[in-house]
Amino acid sequence: MVRGSRRKALIGSLLVLSLVAAACGSDDDEGGTTATSVGEAEEVKDGGTISYAAEQEPTGFNNLTSKDNLLELRHVMRHIWPYAYLAKPDFSVEPTPTLAGEAEVTSQSPFTVQWKINPKAVWSDDVPVSSDDFEWNYLSCNGKVDPGEPTAVDEDSGETISGLDCASTSGLDQVTKFTKADPKTFSMEFEAPYVEYEGLFGDPMPPAHIGKTLPGGWNTGFDASPLLSAGPYQLKEWDKGASITLERNPKWWGPKPHLDTIVFRQLPDPSGHPTALDNDEVQIIYPQPQVDLFDKVRQLDGVHAEANFGPAWEHLDFNFKNPLLAVKEVRQAVAYGLDRDRYVDTLMKPFSDKASRLDSRVFVSNQAEYEAHGEEYATRSVEKATAALKKAGFAKGADGIYAKGADKLSFRLRVLSPNPLREQLQELIKDDLKEVGIDIRIDNFSAPDSIGKIGSTGDFDLFIFAWIGTPFEISGTQQIFASDSDSNFGKYANKKVDAAIKKVSSTLDEADRAAELNKIDEMLWEDLPNIPLFQKPAGLLAYSTKYANITDNTTSEGFFWDSSSWGLKATAG
């Protein structure tokens, strides 16, 4: 079906991040990441083109503005503009060729980090990529009003605010000083130790030397074209509504890519992607999980398909504002009553037999730091569920539903529709909980209502959606479980958890961080603010076997992460 329920964008599934240690990647394990060993690249020819079926169309090229902060645009821009780090398929992180090595902490107090830019890095008009570019990015995205910046007025408070539209200020808003030591070296001072500095400047950034004087500037100056490139490709043509074509950047200073052009075709209906692949109208697709789609692609000849589990995980949230759900035993009863293995078998196994139940809220099963907690809820137990309810003083009514006086355990379960997978999940849950004696009413919503809206207005009793993690950024636990967070839809509050979260955000040692996060998860299993269900495949990577060296990457870097080594097979034909 059509409507954007499975948009790959950052819209609809909110960003949550698991803190991760840079070092330990993990290979194949029950989490399901395939080995994606980039080791041996196959022999490929030079030249040729590849077309990709993209679901969303941008309206401009500055990926950092809120209007164009789309994953699909990042796939385009990562080939054109520079950025600082690359997330690899095993969730490890390394600096991109734009940087000359990793960023260094040069001082603990004040916490200062220094970056060095690759001396070879240059824009296509021969101006070097310099600290000026990073500075412009910083100034535009720090959330503050800097001298010379366009401003606006906040109508409610009357204060002057920055007129620059930047989709992510996290981290940069903690910077107190930006120093340019020389055109290729800069450093930033932070208010307090900021442990995720490696995650800064992670999105492709525009050229400062022309951008500042462009009509429209940061916000809209790059709406027609990226204008300059510092990457392997540059924009050749944008046929609005139809396609974006990239061609080689003659001024590219790194290892030459094999393919001459990459074409992004705008095809918003994902159910047409397999057919387009079959008909050779596109050669690579990445549709979201949908059983028949996967099966259909797997049936095609001359196509390689793989589904890998990514950092997206599905979960069931409780709304603590509902007095019945605020009772711990009720939540426990729900947790005991769910048959999570069954859901995995029915809904996820068709995609990959590596699918499994998720037992942690802070790490996903591909990560080395993953620890399964909440053992008592691992398997379904109707007896334990009813025992918990009885303990809290609920009694089974004549209709089979537990109640305390006039308060029946009847809840509204909501998802963003249309979404066949989630709707099926709802049915299974309803069935399972009915046996326990809890009544579930399915009450879904659809666009223009969104997960953000329903969540933030607390218009639900039970809510199912997914969070997506990345290897970086501030702990997702802070975002979801801290009592003052906007994304804490259920309004769960536990001072001990708040304190633990504060502690971990300033813990510098990675191993310690992992241990502390796992402890937090144990606390969360005690309280049950939500129940993790399972990890979802990031998508199905499917491409024509005429090509080689295409590997999946389930982080938001995406499967284009190694596009420079893609090419048409050298074998005869």
Partner 1 sequence: MADLAPTPVGLPEPGVPDELVEFGVEAEGQWRRVLRRFLRHKLAVASLIILLVLITASFLGRTVARYGFDEYSRGEESSPPSLRHWFGTDSLGKDTLAQVLRGARRSLLVALVVAAISTTVGTLVGAVAGYYRGFVDLVLMRLTDLFLTIPALAVLLVASSRFGGEGSNWIAISLVISSLAWMYLARLVRGVFLSLREREFVEAARALGASDARIVFRHLLPNALGPIVVNATLLVAAAIATETALSYLGFGIAAPDTSLGKLVAEGVTAASTRWWLFYMPGLWLVLISLCINFVGDGLRDAIDPRGTKVRA
Partner 2 sequence: MGPQGDGGLNATGVTTRRLSGAGPVILGSDVLAFTLRRLVVSIPVVLASSFIVFVLVATAGGDPLADLRLRPGVSEATIELRRQELNLDKPVLERYGIWAKGAVTGDLGRSIRNEDVGELLVRRLGVTMRLVLSATIIAVLLAIVIGSVSALKQYSKFDYAATFASFVFFSMPVFWLAAVLKDVGIRANDALGRKVFFTVSEQTPNQVGGFLTIWADRIGHLLLPSLTLILISMAGWSRYQRGSMLEVLNADYIRTAKAKGLSGRVVLFRHALRNALIPVVTVVAIDFAAILGGAVVTETVFGWAGMGRLLVEALGVQDVNVVQAWLLVTAMVVVLFNLIADILYGYLDPRIRRG
Residues 443-462 interacting with partner 1 (rule: CB under 8 A): 443-449
Angle, helices 495-504/510-527, rounded to nearest 10 degrees: 170
- Of 112, 87, 111, 114, nearest to 99 by C-alpha is 114
Instruction: Measure the CA–CA gap between 227 and 236, rounded to whole angstroms.
Output: 10
Q: Is cis: bond before 270, omega within 30 of 0?
A: no
**Binder of partner 1 out of 75, 116, 296, 315 (CB under 8 A):** 296
Is residue 280 near partner 2 by the rule CB under 8 A? yes
Q: By C-alpha distance, which of 255, 256, 265, 100 is closest to 186?
A: 100
Q: How far apart are CA 192 and CA 176, in angstroms?
A: 10
Footprint (CB under 8 A) of partner 2, residues 113-142: none
Residue 27 touches which member of partner 1, partner 2, none, C-beta under 5-8 Å by kind: none
Instruction: Please enumerate in sequence order all residues whose Cβ is within 8 A of that of 374, keeping only pairs 6 or more positions apart, or say none.
Output: 335, 359, 525
Q: Which is nearer to partner 2, 43 or 173 (CB)?
A: 173
Could you say which of partner 2, partner 1, none residue 428 binds, taking C-beta under 5 to 8 angstroms by partner kind?
A: partner 1
**Binding to partner 1 (CB under 8 A): which residues in 410-429?**
417-418, 420, 423-424, 426-428
Q: Do the Cβ atoms of 198 and 22 come closer than 8 Å?
A: yes
At 355, list the tokens: 């699918």
Contact positions with partner 2 (CB under 8 A) in 215-254: 220, 223, 236-237, 239-243, 245
User: d(Cα 226, Cα 312) in Å, to the nearest integer?
Assistant: 30
Backbone angles phi, psi at 534, to 5 degrees: -160, 165
Tell whether residue 155 is a contact of partner 2 (CB under 8 A): yes
Out of partner 2, partner 1, none, which partner does residue 163 contact, by CB within 5 to 8 A per kind?
partner 2
265 lines the binding site for partner 2 (CB under 8 A): yes
Site for partner 1 in 378-407 (CB under 8 A): none
Of 386 and 417, which CB lies nearer to partner 1 in the complex structure?
417
Assess 322 for contact with partner 1 (CB under 8 A): no
Stretch that binds partner 1, among 145-153, 242-250, 287-295, 316-324 (CB under 8 A): 287-295
In the range 243-282, which residues lie near partner 1 by CB under 8 A? 271
Q: Which of 140, 128, 129, 134 is nearest to 115 (CA)?
A: 134
CA angle 307, 310, 313 (to 5 degrees): 115
Residues 158-197 as x/- pattern, contact with partner 2 by CB under 8 A: ---xxx-xxxxxxx-x------------------------
Verify binding: residue 10, partner 2, rule CB under 8 A: yes
Nearest approach in angstroms of CB 441 to partner 1 is: 5
Other beta carbons less than 10 A from residue 211's beta carbon = 22
Span near partner 1 by CB under 8 A; candidates 190-198, 201-209, 284-292, 308-316: 284-292
Applying CB under 8 A, does 67 fall inside the site for partner 2? yes
Q: Which is nearer to partner 2, 3 or 209 (CB)?
A: 3
Q: Using CB under 8 A, pick the residue from 27, 28, 196, 278 that binds partner 2.
A: 278
Let me know: does 256 contact 44? Beta carbons within 8 Å: no
Strands 530-544 and 567-568: unpaired
- Residue 295 binds partner 2, judged by CB under 8 A: no
Q: Are strands 410-414 and 462-468 parallel, antiparallel or unpaired?
A: parallel
The alpha carbon of residue 16 and the mean position of all alpha carbons in its chain are separated, in whole angstroms, by: 7
Q: What mask of x and - would describe binding to partner 2 in positions 313 to 352, judged by CB under 8 A?
A: ----------------------------------------
